[in-house]
Amino acid sequence: MSTEPQFLSFKGLKQYTPGDGWGQVNAILQSHTQTTAAPAQPATQPTHHAVPDNVPTLTESPEAPSSASPIFDPLINELFEQLRVAPSDELTQTWRTIAAEVNLLTQRMALQRELQERLQKLDQDLLDLRGTILSHLSDVQHAADQQLSSARLRAEVSALAQTKLAAKLTNKR
């Protein structure tokens, strides 16, 4: 059995060592094999930045990195590519459906408010029209009452005149 640690080595894999921080697995393997092969020679330690200078943010696209660049990580590039591509899963379609339905609901609620305002205006117009009709009916009733009073008065005058005339005609005989 070998005393060397076994590492999975593939492009973009990083390993953390307390003294060195994060580093490429291949660089750590090479430095580890160099220290075990030649213990008298000190191994050159790669310099690591806490945050690489050329890592793109979500809003900017990365420049075309060279595959030999130790600073740019291909896994980060793949992550950014996945973030740029719009997902087409069922959840996204469901959210689009929900957004469309919320938009339709908002439109229908606005239409409902408009119809309610129109209905209130129509109700007010109906109340005003009823009031106007009642006012006209009251005027007609008043006019009819005056005509009735005049007709009664004429009827009484006529009856009185008839009585008086009849009394005069009967006395002359």
If you write DSSP's letter for every residue of 33-60 in order, what string do you get? HHHHH-TTSPPPPPP--SS-TT---SSS
Per-residue pLDDT, averaged over 86-103, amounts to 83
Tell me the average pLDDT across 142-151: 95
Is-contact 124 132, C-beta < 8 A? no
3-class DSSP state for residue 150? helix
What 3-state class would DSSP assign to 36? helix
**Which one has a higher pLDDT value, 58 or 166?**
166
Q: Which two tokens stand for residue 1?
A: 């059995």
What is the pTM assigned to this prediction?
0.38
Provide Rg for the chain, Cα atoms.
Answer: 52
How would residue 83 be classed by pLDDT, with cut points 50, 70 and 90? Answer: confident
Tokens of 142: 């008043």
102 or 37: which carries more pLDDT confidence? 102
